[in-house]
Chains A and B, each alone.
Chain A
Amino acid sequence: MATKASRSAARLMISPAVILLLCWMIVPLAMTIYFSFLRYNLLQPGNSPFVGWENYYWFFTDPSFSAAMINTLVLVGGVLAITTIGGILFALLLDQPMWGQGVIRIMVIAPFFVMPTVSGLVWKNMFMNPVNGIFGHLTQALGFAPIDFFGQIPMASIIFIVSWQWLPFATLILLTAFQSLDQEQLEAAEMDGASWVSRFWFIMLPHLARAITVVILIQTIFLLSIFAEILVTTNGGPGVATTNLTYLIYVSSLLQYDVGIGSAGGVVAIILANIVAFFLMRMIGKNLDA
């Protein structure tokens, strides 16, 4: 029933969004790629000569780069492991019959709404500070020496903070998936004598597989860009112990004003994110057909 007139009207209605997004994507992307081939530092006025792959060479051979890549992997992998496994357990637990389920769910989900700078600073100062933090008081009360979290185990501390923020997200999505599980199928399996473990392994996990994949992919997109938590807690240190790719690019672009090298890093980050995005898009695209 869509007439020619309504089709062109529809096209007209979509065009502002398409044009804006196209500009937003193409213009900065083209500039980043262009800058990545120039020797261009904001502190050195004058012309910016074309230098080919030089910036990429410097970016890849910088010892901070390999450190940042490893840190990014550890950070993303660590948070994913904790939030996915924790999320499954939390969702499983919250799906059980209990009193005050609504209130408990609200408490579990709350950390997701705390802005990154607040959670970074509150954990750093009020919990992980070796002298005045709650963890410090706890370890002392138990008779242990307090841990200097951001000095001794900086990356683990950041993984902990970020996991606190993202565990609610994983829980919420997996819980939603759990609730669509066919209860009768579970009961039938139970009557046939399937143990809890085999019910979990053969019925629940396969049912959750899709939601788990979505959690992992979406979180990866966001976790690759973790920035504020690092900025307010460790500034990427000590040394480069907590510098991830995003933070490294921030340092070379906005602290060292090296547009060329920063842009080369930006291109690397875009390529990495696109690899993850490719798989995520395929999953979502399949769902769109259904």
Chain B
Amino acid sequence: MARAVSKNRKTLNTVIAGTLGFLMFFPIVWIVVVSLKTEEDAIRAPLEILFSSGWTLESFGAVQARSDYFKHFSNSVIISLGSTFLGLLIAIPAAWAMAFVPAKRTKDVLMWMLSTKMLPPVGVLIPIYLIFRDTGLLDSRLGLTFVLMMINLPIIIWMLYTYFREIPGEILEAARMDGASLRDEVIYVLTPMAIPGMASTILLNIILSWNEAFWTLNLTAAKAAPLTAFIASFSSPEGLFYAKLSAASVMAIAPILIMGWFSQKQLVRGLTFGAVK
């Protein structure tokens, strides 16, 4: 039952929450604004930047010219999509089996998988670095894809498991009784019900891999560097070129911001391993 709330109260809530929300969001607005300025305008006082300077797209061109931006962008795309789909390939059968054919040890296996996620990356930095150096995987997209797949695999399995478990087994039995073959069962009954869960799993994992900034910074140099590492290269005095820094940042965060807004609800479930729904 919705409670009656006075209009004034509602307005007050809106003003307070709107102000705080805007303050949280402001840095993102600001990088978009500055990315559309010339380098000279970008370091003027904030109000001058907003009201008394022209708008231009030249910084976006400058970023591309400085260090092949699209190479880094495509590295990010390949690594995050690649690690997500490789992970799915391994996780779907595992999650499916644990959800529909639970055994005595299923819970232990799940908990153990989760525990691998608790291993701090810096604890295994040296071995991974040395193995990669000796096998030529340093600064390669293949190596990074593999590492990101491994660190996100427990999350993928867990999310899929919690989604699969919500599919009632009775429906599958009913289909079987009606004479559906295993193939029909998977294609016509299981898949349609599993698609929403799989979609949100994919979304969350692309977001996590795209923003991952420990392994991507430590295992890449020039060739395989995704956007996280490319942006980090602005930490030299070059970061003082605000317009270019902003343009590079806008392009790096925009795709993920949009995906993130679509996956808000699933985010809670994925990041808490089902502990909060």
Residues of A within 8 A of B (CB): 1-2, 6-7, 9-11, 13-14, 16-18, 20-21, 24-25, 27-29, 31-32, 35, 90, 93-94, 96-101, 103-127, 129, 132, 134, 137, 164, 167-169, 172-173, 176-177, 183-184, 187, 210-211, 214, 218, 221, 224-225, 227-228, 231-233, 245-246, 249-250, 253-254, 259, 262-263, 265-267, 269-270, 272-274, 276-277, 280-281, 283-285, 287-289
User: Are A111 and B110 in contact, CB atoms less than 8 angstroms apart?
Assistant: no
User: Are A116 and B211 in contact, CB atoms less than 8 angstroms apart?
Assistant: yes
List chain B residues, Cβ under 8 A from A11.
Answer: 97
List chain B residues, Cβ under 8 A from A124.
Answer: 239
B5 within 8 A of partner (CB) = yes
List chain B residues, Cβ under 8 A from A284.
Answer: 111, 114, 273-275
Q: How far is the CB of B236 from chain A (nearest CB, A)?
A: 10
Q: List 14 A-B contacts (CB under 8 A).
A: A14-B109, A24-B150, A31-B124, A31-B127, A100-B18, A104-B21, A114-B257, A115-B256, A116-B228, A118-B253, A176-B276, A218-B271, A232-B235, A253-B125
User: Are A117 and B20 in contact, CB atoms less than 8 angstroms apart?
Assistant: no
Contact of B127 among A6, A28, A211, A218 (CB under 8 A): A28
List chain A residues, Cβ under 8 A from B232.
Answer: 117, 121, 228, 231-232
Q: How far is the CB of B97 from chain A (nearest CB, A)?
A: 4
Given A97-B13, A214-B275; A281-B268 close (CB under 8 Å): no
List chain B residues, Cβ under 8 A from A107.
Answer: 21-22, 24-25
User: Are A108 and B20 in contact, CB atoms less than 8 angstroms apart?
Assistant: yes
Give the nearest-CB partner of A26 in chain B: B116
User: Are B235 and A98 in contact, CB atoms less than 8 angstroms apart?
Assistant: no
Q: How far is the CA of A183 from the CA of B3 in the complex (A)?
A: 9
Given A109-B260, A121-B239, A277-B118; A254-B218 close (CB under 8 Å): yes
Q: How far is the CB of B232 from chain A (nearest CB, A)?
A: 4
User: Are A176 and B116 in contact, CB atoms less than 8 angstroms apart?
Assistant: no
Give the nearest-CB partner of A109 in chain B: B264
User: Are A137 and B25 in contact, CB atoms less than 8 angstroms apart?
Assistant: no
Q: How far is the CA of A234 from the CA of B104 in the complex (A)?
A: 50
Q: How far is the CA of A104 from the CA of B20 in the complex (A)?
A: 9
Q: How far is the CA of A30 from the CA of B245 in the complex (A)?
A: 41
B207 within 8 A of partner (CB) = yes
Q: How far is the CA of A99 from the CA of B153 in the complex (A)?
A: 39
Mask for B1-16, Cβ within 8 A of A = 1, else 0?
1110100011101101
User: Are B20 and A125 in contact, CB atoms less than 8 angstroms apart?
Assistant: no
Q: How far is the CA of A169 from the CA of B270 in the complex (A)?
A: 12
Q: How far is the CA of A267 from the CA of B111 in the complex (A)?
A: 22
Q: How far is the CA of A203 from the CA of B100 in the complex (A)?
A: 38
List chain A residues, Cβ under 8 A from B190.
Answer: none
B31 within 8 A of partner (CB) = yes
User: Are B122 and A225 in contact, CB atoms less than 8 angstroms apart?
Assistant: yes
User: Are A253 and B126 in contact, CB atoms less than 8 angstroms apart?
Assistant: yes
Give the nearest-CB partner of A271 in chain B: B123
Given A98-B14, A122-B245; A214-B126 close (CB under 8 Å): no
Q: Which 7 A-B pairs have the closest CB atoms?
A: A277-B118, A228-B213, A28-B124, A13-B93, A31-B127, A10-B97, A113-B260
Give the nearest-CB partner of A23 in chain B: B150
Additional pairs, 11, CB under 8 Å, beyond known A20-B150, A97-B13: A13-B96, A21-B154, A97-B2, A110-B261, A113-B211, A117-B217, A122-B249, A132-B43, A232-B235, A249-B122, A253-B126
User: Are A228 and B97 in contact, CB atoms less than 8 angstroms apart?
Assistant: no
User: Are A21 and B116 in contact, CB atoms less than 8 angstroms apart?
Assistant: yes
User: Are A106 and B126 in contact, CB atoms less than 8 angstroms apart?
Assistant: no
Q: How far is the CB of A231 from chain B (nearest CB, A)?
A: 7
User: Are B126 and A31 in contact, CB atoms less than 8 angstroms apart?
Assistant: yes
User: Are B231 and A115 in contact, CB atoms less than 8 angstroms apart?
Assistant: yes
Q: Which of A127, A228, A272 has the most CB of B within 10 A?
A: A228
Contact of B217 among A111, A119, A176, A231 (CB under 8 A): A231
Give the nearest-CB partner of B218 in chain A: A254
User: Are A17 and B153 in contact, CB atoms less than 8 angstroms apart?
Assistant: yes
Q: Which of A35, A98, A221 has the most CB of B within 10 A?
A: A98
B198 within 8 A of partner (CB) = no
Give the nearest-CB partner of B76 in chain A: A115
Q: How far is the CB of B142 from chain A (nearest CB, A)?
A: 15
Q: How far is the CA of A183 from the CA of B93 in the complex (A)?
A: 41
Mask for B211-245, Cβ within 8 A of A = 1, else 0?
10110011000000001110110110001101001
